[in-house]
Amino acid sequence: MQLFLRDLFEYNNHSNNTIIKILTENETIVSDHCIKLISHILNVHGIWNHKIAPRELQYERWEKHHIHQLHEINKKNYEDSVSILDSFDPDKVIDYRLSTGQPFRNSIRDILFHVINHSTYHRAQIATEFRQMGLEPLLTDYIAYKMK
């Protein structure tokens, strides 16, 4: 399971970096909403890492970042997730609270899979934004990543 999760985080890191590269190359035409979405993807990834391995929380869920900060935030999230995979049993169940204060408990495996699923969902929204800006939407499907 840990190898599969690691592969998913490599895919997630690659997909985010590809989007960030295109955003940076097209900085003058990218929509504010696009930057907000990729910032949200990265912020939430960091927040979930924090729920598993508490550290100083860096960002709020919808905090928007400057386009030139995105790569470094994505790199940090990826490294933290890999560290979690190396340090924790994915079947371990942890208690946490949502931003609303509502308590939950889930396995680390389920939380980490949620990070991937959440990122994929919002990358699809970014693909729609790309089309509206006249950019070619990226193919960031997992299976396409595995064909490389």
Interval 6-39: pLDDT, tens = 999 999 999 999 999 999 999 999 999 999 999 9
Q: How confident is the model at residue 69 (pLDDT cuts 50, 70, 90)?
A: very high
Taking the C-alpha atoms of residue 128 and residue 86, their distance in angstroms, rounded to an integer, is 35
Q: Are 1 and 109 in contact (CB under 8 A)?
A: yes
Domains of the chain: 2-146 (1.20.120.450)
pLDDT (tens digit per residue) in 121-138: 999 999 999 999 999 888
Residue 65 and residue 39 in contact, taking contact as beta carbons nearer than 8 Å:
yes
111 pLDDT more than 80: yes
Instruction: Decide: 139 and 121 in contact? Cβ < 8 Å.
Output: no
pLDDT for res 102: 93
Contacts of 66 (CB under 8 A, 6+ apart): none
